[in-house]
Amino acid sequence: MKFPHKFSLKEIAKLLEVEYIGADDFPIYGCNEIHVVESGDIVFVDHPKYYDKALKSKATVVLINKKVDCPEGKALLISKDPFSDFNKLTKHFKAFKPANSSIAQSASIGEGTIIQPNVFIGNNVTIGKNCIIHPNVTIYDDCTIGNNVTIHSGSILGADAFYYKKRKTGYDKLISGGSIIIKDNVDIGASCTIDRGVSGNTTINEGTKIDNQVQIGHDTIIGKKCLIASQTGIAGCVIIEDNVTLWGQVGTNSGITIGENAVVLGQTGVTKSIKGNLTYFGTPIEESRKKLKEIVEVRQLLKNQKK
């Protein structure tokens, strides 16, 4: 999530009411989660296990809950609660704007696009040319949709990330300030849900086709010309490379990569990253021929035991 213009370390520290280590005029351009940070960004960390990763990341400002040695060329913001202070930044720079119409005046809709009745289109949404948006679709603020995209009834684009921190008092939500990018020639079936990124974008690339009742988590990136069948659940921060096929009721862990041209058969649990150009099956996931062979061997063993 980029800020509207450059801010200084001193200005951000004043906004958050925290101490800082670094030059007053140290430049800050945005804030992001660690997997999408760039130079000029703030990243937050609140557990010693991840201090080193955050301090060595591309982020040039680290929002941290302990005074540590500041790496050369970086700055620190010292916070009692980095999680809550990261939320403060999102609230300040990406404040929620209530809607006052079904299609926001700030929305941009391309030539030849058809918007069916009972569609909601939020603030600053961009929809390209020759799209069809069927009834009862909801498109939250700031989503970007390319040309020749079809979205079927009941689908929801841009709901918040499912991201919570457990505390003694319950669960604190990490506020979502990212968005969604849908590229050209994508089809989205009925009753699909695609969550916005926490600070970056959930992205579906050109030519991908998505069946009904599919859930796609925050910050996931889906490649070109993928096929995703009904009732598949894709967790947050997953990378699915080009030409991947996920058959019905596939589920994935977060933070994994599915390689190019991989095929995942129905009801498989993708518990780890997998290589491309192979077909997979089962939970735990294995290459399908190996898994099916194991199943046959187990059945034969059980059959022999009964004799």
Residues with active-site annotation: 218
299 CB-near residues (< 8 Å, 6+ apart): none
Query: CA 153 to CA 144: how far, in whole Å?
Result: 18
Place of tokens 């069946």: 211
Alpha-carbon distance values, 28 to 4, 17, 78, 146, 218 (Å)? 11, 16, 15, 31, 24
Element (H, E) at 52: helix 51-55
> What would the two tokens of residue 208 be?
């991908």
Contact 24, 9 (CB under 8 A): yes
32 CB-near residues (< 8 Å, 6+ apart): 1, 38, 41, 42, 43, 59, 199, 200
Which residue, among 89, 126, 82, has the nearest Cα to 104 in the 3D structure? 126
Alpha-carbon distance values, 220 to 59, 68, 141, 216 (Å)? 20, 32, 18, 7
Contact 26, 9 (CB under 8 A): yes
- Burial class of residue 249 (count of CB atoms within 10 Å of its CB; 0-12, 13-18, 19+): middle
> What would the two tokens of residue 66 be?
């302990």
Place of tokens 């760039």: 38
Alpha-carbon distance values, 303 to 31, 296, 300 (Å)? 59, 10, 5
Query: CA 182 to CA 193: how far, in whole Å?
Result: 13
> What would the two tokens of residue 141 be?
């603020």
